[in-house]
Amino acid sequence: MRVYIKTFGCPSNIYEGEIIENILSEAGHQITIDGDFDAIVINMCSVKGPSVNSAVRLAKQNSDKIVVVSGCIMENEVDKFPDYCGFVHSYCSHLITNAIESVRKGKSVRFFDRPKNLNDRLVPCRASNLISVVPINTGCNGICSYCSVRIVKGKLVSYPKKLVLSRVRSAIDGGTKEVWITSQDVAAYGMDSRSSTKDESDCQDVANADDISINQGLGKNNLVDILSDIVEIPGNFFVRIGMMNLPNLKIIIKNDRNRLFAILNHPKVYKFLHLPLQSGSDHVLKDMNRGYKAHDLLSTINKFRKKIPCLTIATDMICGFPTESDADFESSLSIIEKMKPDVVNISRFWRRPGTVAYDMNQVFSHIIKERSKKMTELFKMISFQNNSEWLGWEGDVLVNEIGKNNSLIGRNISYKPIIIKNKDSDIKQGDLVKVKITQHSVYDLKGTIIEKLN
Ligand code: SF4
């Protein structure tokens, strides 16, 4: 059967898509990317309402095909989909062929039972991708009051180090030049025992993470351990470290900061730190159950900036969380102004079923829209200024994408996106080139090739 897999969402879900592709190919199905298919697997994201609506729309558009919905699907949202769909939670993707077969026979199926052992979900790389996604843990030990990820993925499970290293090795052997170390919170690697004992219903009175977490040391295998082993793997490749959450990062800083700083200064590791803030208001952060104060995060970022020159900072901001007042939003704007991040992933708050924030009094959507517009305008100004400081820079760039109009896109060691005019046609993806930055814009830099390095 010809199967089309449409993946939405984060790098972890890209990995889920790869798992589904492997299983279906092994079962003899043909994976297709053009419009001519018999079955479609919608590998969905449910972190926000709009992403759920996109999946429902796609399912409705394919009523004449076999439709199976997988990925980060919430069981309490299955009824939003047409009844001819089958449902396979990402943890049950080993049942994807059964689901397709059942739906083909007109039987709708729902596979949501979480397998006891999730460890074998991390498999070596099969495809020789230039960029390979390596999830190091799944689930989360956070209890953010707005978050559906934790409901979908459950408690934190860190994959055994040997499985992670074998996936990285197989990727490098297969020609990978860029490894994305990813999860909901990579700083939580090895902290499975620190899973919050509190469940959703009494999130409100969670003590400040400081007194919960800091006093607990690092697990035997933590993020710094696994990154130290990954950079020792022979080969020319770069590592991008995925999103971290401050409460777990602070445990690493307390117990192992020098090795962490050394890793981020390692020539194989992109100088890139993704640390979601979400709000600049401490009372909103408390209502979100984020477990830190806004200036906590700002001072942590400044600590990293001192130790890692040319560090690229990425953060996430939610606009319109239910308890966010105009003054709270002003606090968010002012802390972003102080932080001057290079990347801000701006989200409009969207209440998710099953979360504490779902039952809170919601902010009017026109106000949410207005606030996210203001945050975007501020970010554009900051990013344009930050990027202007790269003019004249010369250095190595890994070409990892083909751009428009015969251009190439690459990343330098600070993971800055650089558009390269490719007059010299023999440069291709995976090549390392020396570049001089000649122009800048809000979202990227432009440069010319000085020489080809490999
Ligand atoms: S840290 Fe919070 S927002 Fe992130 S996945 Fe965990 S519970 Fe969700």
- The tens digit of pLDDT for each residue in 349-395 reads 999 999 999 999 999 999 999 999 999 999 999 999 999 999 999 99
Residue in this structure with the two tokens 């199967």, named with its chain if needed = 3
Looking at the domain 116-270, which fold is it? Transcription Regulator spoIIAA (3.30.750)
Q: Name the region of 234 (left: φ>0; alpha: ψ -120 to 50; beta: rest).
A: beta
Q: What is the per-residue pLDDT for 200?
A: 42
Q: Looking at ligand 1, which residue's alpha carbon is closest to its atom 6?
A: 142
Note the pLDDT of residue 33.
82
Residues 6+ apart with CB under 8 A from 245: 142, 185, 187, 188, 275, 276, 290, 291
Return the pLDDT at 127. 62
Please indicate whether residue 137 or residue 407 has the higher confidence score (pLDDT): 137
Find out whether 69 and 103 touch, Cβ atoms under 8 Å. Answer: no
User: What mean pLDDT comes out for the span 151-177?
Assistant: 92
285 CA to centre of ligand 1 in angstroms = 13
Give, using CA atoms, the residue closest to atom 4 of ligand 1: 184
Lowest mean pLDDT among 10-14, 153-157, 424-428: 424-428
Q: What's the pLDDT band for 256 if we cut at 50, 70, 90?
A: very high
CA–CA separation, 415 and 395 (whole Å): 12
Q: What is the model's pTM?
A: 0.92
| Pocket flag, ligand 1, residue 149 (CB < 6 Å) | yes
On average, the pLDDT of the chain sits at: 91
**Least confident stretch, 47-51, 149-153, 205-209, 280-284:** 205-209
The two tokens of residue 268 are 């194989």
CA distance linking residue 360 with residue 193, whole number of Å: 31
Position in ligand 1 atom list of the atom nearest CA 278: 3
* Banded pLDDT at 211 (limits 50, 70, 90): very low
User: Which of 10, 145, 149, 349 maximizes ligand 1 atoms within 8 Å of its Cβ, making it the mutation to test the pocket?
Assistant: 149
If one looks up domain 283-292+301-389 in CATH, what number appears? 3.30.750.200
Q: Where in the chain is the domain with CATH 3.40.50.12160?
A: 2-111
The residue contributing the CA closest to ligand 1 atom 2 is 144
| Residue 139 · residue 150 · CB < 8 Å | yes
- Say what the pLDDT of residue 303 is: 96
Mean local confidence (pLDDT), 198-218: 44
Q: How far is the CA of 367 from the centre of ligand 1 (A)?
A: 25
DSSP class of residue 106 equals: T
Residue 207 has pLDDT above 60, yes or no: no
Nearest Cα neighbor of 235 from 434, 428, 29, 430 is: 430
Testing ligand 1's pocket by substitution, the residue of 47, 141, 191, 245 carrying the most ligand atoms inside 8 A of its CB is 245
User: Residues 240, 180: contact at Cβ < 8 Å?
Assistant: yes
Helix (H, G, I), strand (E, B) or coil at 222: coil
Domain(s) of CATH 3.30.750.210: residues in the chain: 116-270
Return the structure tokens found at 66. Answer: 């076999």
CA of 165 to the centre of ligand 1 (A): 25
The tokens of 112 are what? 């949501």
> Tell me, what amino acid is at 420?
I
Q: 6-35, pLDDT tens digit by residue? A: 999 999 999 999 999 999 999 999 999 877
pLDDT-derived band at 424, boundaries 50, 70, 90: low
Q: Please tell me the predicted confidence (pLDDT) of residue 209.
A: 41
* pLDDT tier at 204, thresholds 50, 70, 90: very low
Residue ranges matching CATH 2.40.50.140 in the chain:
394-452
Q: Is 232 exposed, middle or buried (0-12, 13-18, 19+ CB in 10 A)?
A: exposed
pLDDT band at 423 (very low <50, low <70, confident <90, very high): low
Share of the chain above pLDDT 70, in %: 92
Q: What are phi and psi of 409, to 5 degrees?
A: -125, 135
3-class secondary-structure state, position 435: strand
194 vs 139, higher pLDDT: 139
Whether residue 196 has pLDDT greater than 70: no
CATH code linked to domain 2-111: 3.40.50.12160
C-alpha–C-alpha distance, residues 362 and 343, integer Å: 27
What pLDDT sits at residue 445? Answer: 97
Residues in the chain: 454
| Exposed/middle/buried for residue 330 (C-beta within 10 Å: 0-12, 13-18, 19+) | middle
Q: Which atom of ligand 1 is nearest to the CA of 146?
A: 3
The β-bridge relationship of strands 432-440 and 394-402 is antiparallel
CB of 290 sitting under 6 A from ligand 1: no
- Cβ–ligand 1 distance for 357 under 6 Å, the answer no
User: CATH 3.30.750.200 residue ranges in the chain?
Assistant: 283-292+301-389
Best residue among 47, 140, 278, 347 to mutate for probing ligand 1, ranked by most atoms within 8 Å of CB? 140
Ligand 1 within 6 A of CB of 422:
no
Strand (E) positions, 65-208? 66-71, 86-89, 110-111, 131-135, 137-138, 157-158, 178-182
HSE, CB side, 13 Å, CA atoms: give it for residue 343.
Answer: 18
Q: How confident is the model at residue 342 (pLDDT cuts 50, 70, 90)?
A: very high
pLDDT at residue 107 is higher than 50: yes
Q: For the ranges 151-160, 240-249, 374-383, which has the lowest average pLDDT?
A: 151-160
Q: Which CATH number fits domain 394-452: 2.40.50.140, 3.40.30.10, 2.60.40.3080, 2.60.40.420?
A: 2.40.50.140
pLDDT reading at 346 higher than 80: yes
Pocket test of ligand 1: the residue of 10, 138, 144, 289 to mutate, having most ligand atoms within 8 Å of its CB, is: 144
Judged against a pLDDT cut of 90, whether residue 396 lies above it is answered with yes
Question: Region 203-227: what's the mean pLDDT?
Answer: 60
pLDDT at 191 over 80: yes
Straight-line distance from the first to the last Cα atom of the chain, in angstroms, rounded to the nearest whole number: 41
DSSP class of residue 216 equals S
Where are the strands (E) in 129-248, listed by range? 131-135, 137-138, 157-158, 178-182, 238-241
